[in-house]
Amino acid sequence: MNQDKIDRLRDHYDTTDVAGHFSDATLQTDTASEVLVSSSIRLPQSLMNQVRAQAAELEIPATTLMRQWIIERATTPAAPASVSVADLQRFIAEHARPLAS
């Protein structure tokens, strides 16, 4: 934007009452319970396109969808990394097939 245009805009808003444009505005007083921080990740373009497509279907921003996914994953307890011997024996018994003769 050139300086002349900036000067004209400044003159316009210095002498124009814009209060009517904000007559329906409401003060937002709710605040986040925890400070939010920004983070950056690098994704392949094809993956980001998939995220954007899914977000568009839900009519939400892609970053909101990614935040929801991260919250869901971070707050869901991880599956146990080990399997008990009893569970393994039960699985084998349930899925055993007779040997061919």
pLDDT digits (tens, 9 = 90+) for 46-88: 999 999 999 999 999 999 999 999 999 999 988 878 888 999 8
- pTM of the full structure: 0.49
Domain membership flag for residue 54: yes
As a residue count, the chain comes to 101
88, 81 Cβ separation under 8 angstroms: no
Domain membership flag for residue 86: no
Residue partners of 51: CB distance under 8 A and separation at least 6: 43, 62, 65, 66
pLDDT digits (tens, 9 = 90+) for 19-37: 888 888 888 888 878 888 9
Domain membership flag for residue 8: no
Number of domains in the chain: 1
Angle at 71 between CA 83 and CA 54, to 5 degrees: 105
Domain membership flag for residue 91: no
Domain membership flag for residue 98: no
The C-alpha atoms of residue 4 and residue 10 are separated, in whole angstroms, by 10
Domain membership flag for residue 57: yes
Domain membership flag for residue 12: no
**Range of the structural domain that residue 51 is part of:** 42-75
